[in-house]
Structure 1
C-alpha cells in the first residue's frame, strides 16, 4: 500500500498552513517553526530573557486561538504575529520600561569578541551609547516605541507595521519620524558606527 504524498511544509505559504490548521491543528506547527526564533529575538531585545519566553508563548497561543480569523489573502503571517506579540508586550509595558531604565544606568558589555582589543573597543562604544539609547527608548510613548522597534528590530516594512498594529501607513511614518528624532536628540552627536569619536 502506497502512502499518500505529503506536501512539503517549507514550500507551503503561511496562509495555506494556517488554513490547513483549521482542520488539522498540528499543521500550525509550521508557523511556529518558521517564526518562533524571530519573535523570540525581538521579544528578548524588548523584554529581556526573563519575559521573552512567556510573551512568545502567549503570542503563539493567541495566534493559534485566533487562526480562524486570519486573512487568508495575506500569504505572509509575520505582520500578524508581530502585531499579536506587540499587544502581548503592551501588557508587560511597565516591565519593558523598567528594563530600559535599568539599561540606561548599565555600562558593561556582555558580548563575546575575538580579541581583548575588540572587547575594549566594543565596551567603550556600547557603554557610551547604551545609557542614552535605553533612556530614549524608555521615554518614547508606547505607540512610537512599538513602531520604531518593529522597523529596527523586527525588520518589518512600513506596510507590515501598519498591518501588525492596525494603523495607516502614514501614521507609521509619522510615529517613526517622531521616535527617530527623539532618539537622535538623546544620542546627541555620538554615532557608535564611527570609530573616530
Structure 2
C-alpha cells in the first residue's frame, strides 16, 4: 500500500508569501553646470539655450532695476547672451557658475545707458520724501528694495560708475565679493577697498540729507 505523507502544519506554519521586491530606484538626474553647458555648446550650439533659460530672467531683473526701463532691459539681456555666446570659447571651464561672467557682460552694456541712469537718479533725488518710493537701505553695506528714496537716489547718483556697478552687483545681484571681483575683472582687495569707500560716501550723503 502506498501512503502519502503530509507535513505537520500545526508544528511548522507556512511562511508568509514574500512581497515582490521593489524595482531599483532610477538614478537622480543632476543638472549640468553652467560650465558644462558652455563646453557642450562648442560642439552643439543649441546647448547654449540652456544657459539662457537658466539665467535670463535674473539678468533682466537686474538690468530693469538699474535702468527702470523694461525695453532697455530687454535689449541688455538679449545682447548679454549674444556677447556671451560669441565669447564662449574663452570661458574658463573651471568656473562652474557663469553668473559672475554674465553680470560682468551686462554691467558693461548697462554702461551705455549710464547718462540715462544718472538722470533718473537725480530726478528721484528731487522728489519729496513722501512721494518717493524707495530702495530701502538695510544697512550701510547693502542697498535693496523696490524703488529709491530721494536721499539714497542722490547718494547713488554721486557715485562713480565703478563704485555704483560694484555696490549694486553685491546688493542687487547678491554676488559675493569674489564673484563681484570676477564679474568686474578686478582683484578681491580692490573690491573690499572700493566697497569701503562707497559705503562711506553713501553714509555721508545720507547724513547730509537727514
TM superposition score category, shorter chain reference: 0.7 to 0.9
1:62 corresponding residue in structure 2: 83
* Matching of residue 72 in structure 1 with residue 93 in structure 2: yes
Per-residue CA deviation, residues 84-111 of structure 1 (Å, 9 max, x unaligned), is 0111111221111112112222353579
2:62 corresponding residue in structure 1: 42
TM-score (norm 2): 0.74
Post-superposition offset of 1:73: 0.7
Higher alpha-carbon Rg:
2
Of 99-108 and 36-45, deviating more is: 99-108
TM-score (norm 1): 0.79
Corresponding pairs, count: 169
Gaps of 5+ in 1: 1-7, 112-125, 192-197
Gaps of 5+ in 2: 1-28, 135-145
In terms of fraction of residues, the more helix-rich structure is 1
Q: CA RMSD in A?
A: 2.4
Per-residue CA deviation, residues 30-72 of structure 1 (Å, 9 max, x unaligned), is 1111111111111111111242111111111111111111111
Contact 2:37 2:48 in 1 (8 A): yes
Aligned residue for 2:93, secondary structure, equals coil
- 1:1-197 alignment, distance < 5 Å: 11-49=31-69, 50-107=71-128, 108=131, 130-188=149-207
Q: Following superposition, which runs of at least 4 residues in structure 1 exceed 3 angstroms of deviation? A: 106-111
Post-superposition offset of 1:189: 8.7
